């Protein structure tokens, strides 16, 4: 049967760039879904990949006509989401990344059932898992799973069925709702999904959160990659606050304030000794908490993860906190758009000197 002769009921939109190592496995998981083939389509919206992703997806599309490759010349996920939504042929859209693990073969069937029962927005657990190769990937996944390692109030680790605030984990929408809230804001380089979900919440729409929709994400495999990811998360939170002041929440504000203090107090200590003492006391207390939590987590899983966990927590916190401060000051985004490291550093310095950022 030629599935393209039939209008699908559900469109899977995959915003990707340079995911050749992982996208094949995700496409295989989608193709193995229990939902009848003629009821869904897959749009891979590619940000002009250079690693072979495009060729791999074209090969899949030749063998499976429900898969389409669509260009995203702006590179970023926000524009990919809008391109996918505009080209979707189905009345319902679910977003799936090119580097993830779908927990259930009934995920698409469960999503469509929820939509057809009247839901307009769906939310899902999005736990992290280690890649099995890099110790920091395992440590980062473990660190982010505890209260000390992720945004308080986030529902990405909640697996009970409920209606909830869509902000942290909204992932699927009726096309009518997606366009009613004004699409994804393409000016956001990070946190574009959170900002969209905030507008969904403001419209008075709650999300249906279900364990049947769980999608796991592989944690980054190095401290540098973890720092970059959390920096961009923090930047996105600040950008959200700049656009919607009523979206302010205590965790990012507190983390930003603590990060600012950690940067400024040593400088004040040059001329005012009590500032340095306060800084040293704060660092000591923080390290005691990190060491204690790391020891407890490592004892439950693998003692060899203790050292990497002790390094992961400061990387997570400082990355997110510094990103939040940079976002407030319109500093560099550490964007996925190709750009030289030198230009990113220059914009960062200019932003703290009061110049307008062009990133």
CATH number, residue 170: 3.90.550.10
Residue 158 belongs to domain spanning: 8-220
Is position 307 within any domain?
yes
Residues 268 and 315 in one domain: yes
Query: Among 220, 250, 282, where does a domain finish?
Result: 220
Residues 215 and 291 in one domain: no
Residues 154 and 286 in one domain: no
Share of the chain above pLDDT 70, in %: 91
- Lowest mean pLDDT segment, chosen from 223-232, 254-263, 349-358: 349-358
Q: Is 346 exposed, middle or buried (0-12, 13-18, 19+ CB in 10 A)?
A: middle
Dihedral of CA atoms 230, 257, 253, 79 in degrees, nearest 10, equals: -40
How confident is the model at residue 156, as a pLDDT?
A: 83
Is position 3 within any domain?
no
DSSP secondary structure string for all residues of 23-36:
HHHHHHHHHT-SS-
Average pLDDT estimate for 61-89:
95
State which of 86-95, 140-149, 247-256 shows the largest mean pLDDT. 86-95
Residues 142 and 287 in one domain: no
Rg (CA), the chain: 21
Query: Among 188, 220, 252, where does a domain finish?
Result: 220
Residues 106 and 69 in one domain: yes
Residues 62 and 184 in one domain: yes
In the numeric block, the tokens 């961009």 are attached to 232
Residues 232 and 170 in one domain: no
Residues 241 and 202 in one domain: no
Residues 258 and 207 in one domain: no
**Which whole-number Å values give the CA distances from 185 to 26, 42, 82, 295, in the listed order?**
26, 22, 9, 41
The yes-or-no verdict on residue 93 having pLDDT over 80 is yes
Residues 209 and 266 in one domain: no
Show the CA angle centred on residue 148, arms to residues 143 and 153, nearest 5°: 110
The model's pTM is 0.86
Is position 235 within any domain?
yes
How confident is the model at residue 328, as a pLDDT?
A: 94
Over residues 265-324, the pLDDT tens digits come to: 999 888 888 999 999 999 999 999 999 999 999 999 999 999 999 999 999 999 999 999
Q: How confident is the model at residue 132 (pLDDT cuts 50, 70, 90)?
A: confident
Is position 358 within any domain?
no
Is position 100 within any domain?
yes
Q: Which of 227, 13, 193, 17 is nearest to 108 (CA)?
A: 13
Residues 286 and 255 in one domain: yes
Number of domains, the chain: 2
Query: Among 220, 247, 279, where does a domain finish?
Result: 220
The yes-or-no verdict on residue 259 having pLDDT over 70 is yes
Residues 168 and 82 in one domain: yes
Is position 359 within any domain?
no
Is position 1 within any domain?
no
The two beta strands, 170-174 and 92-95, are antiparallel
Is position 330 within any domain?
yes
Q: Which of 331, 351, 95, 138 is nearest to 226 (CA)?
A: 138
Over residues 147-191, the pLDDT tens digits come to: 899 876 677 888 788 999 999 899 999 999 999 999 999 988 889
């Amino acid at each position: 049967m030629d599935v393209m002769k039939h209008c699908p009921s559900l469109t899977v939109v995959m915003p990707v760039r340079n995911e050749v190592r992982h996208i094949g496995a995700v496409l295989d998981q989608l193709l193995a879904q229990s939902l009848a083939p003629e009821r869904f389509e897959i749009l891979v919206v590619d940000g002009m990949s250079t690693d072979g992703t495009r060729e791999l997806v074209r090969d899949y599309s030749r063998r499976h006509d429900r898969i389409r490759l669509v260009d995203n010349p702006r590179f970023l996920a926000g524009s990919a989401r809008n391109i996918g939504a505009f080209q979707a042929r189905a009345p319902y859209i679910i977003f799936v990344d090119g580097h993830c693990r779908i927990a259930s073969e009934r995920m698409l069937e469960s999503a469509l059932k929820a939509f057809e029962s009247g839901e307009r927005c769906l939310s899902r657990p999005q736990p992290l898992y280690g890649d099995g190769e890099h110790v920091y990937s395992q440590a980062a996944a473990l660190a982010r799973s505890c209260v000390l390692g992720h945004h308080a109030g986030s529902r990405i680790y909640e697996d009970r069925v409920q209606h909830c605030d869509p902000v942290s984990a909204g992932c699927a929408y009726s096309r009518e709702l997606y366009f009613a809230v004004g699409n994804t804001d393409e000016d956001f380089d990070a946190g574009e999904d959170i900002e969209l979900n905030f507008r969904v919440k403001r419209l008075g729409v709650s999300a249906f959160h279900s364990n049947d929709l769980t999608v796991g994400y592989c944690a980054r495999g190095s401290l540098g990659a973890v720092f970059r990811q959390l920096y961009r998360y923090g930047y996105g939170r600040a950008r959200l606050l700049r656009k919607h002041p009523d979206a302010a929440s205590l965790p990012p504000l507190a983390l930003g304030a603590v990060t600012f203090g950690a940067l400024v107090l040593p400088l004040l200590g040059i001329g005012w000794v009590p500032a340095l003492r306060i800084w040293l006391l704060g660092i000591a207390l923080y390290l005691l908490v990190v060491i204690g939590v790391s020891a407890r987590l490592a004892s439950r899983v693998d003692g060899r993860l203790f050292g990497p966990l002790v390094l992961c927590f400061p990387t997570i916190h400082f990355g997110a906190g510094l990103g939040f401060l940079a976002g407030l000051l319109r500093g560099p985004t550490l964007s996925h758009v190709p750009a030289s490291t030198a230009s990113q550093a220059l914009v960062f310095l200019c932003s703290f000197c009061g110049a307008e950022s062009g990133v």
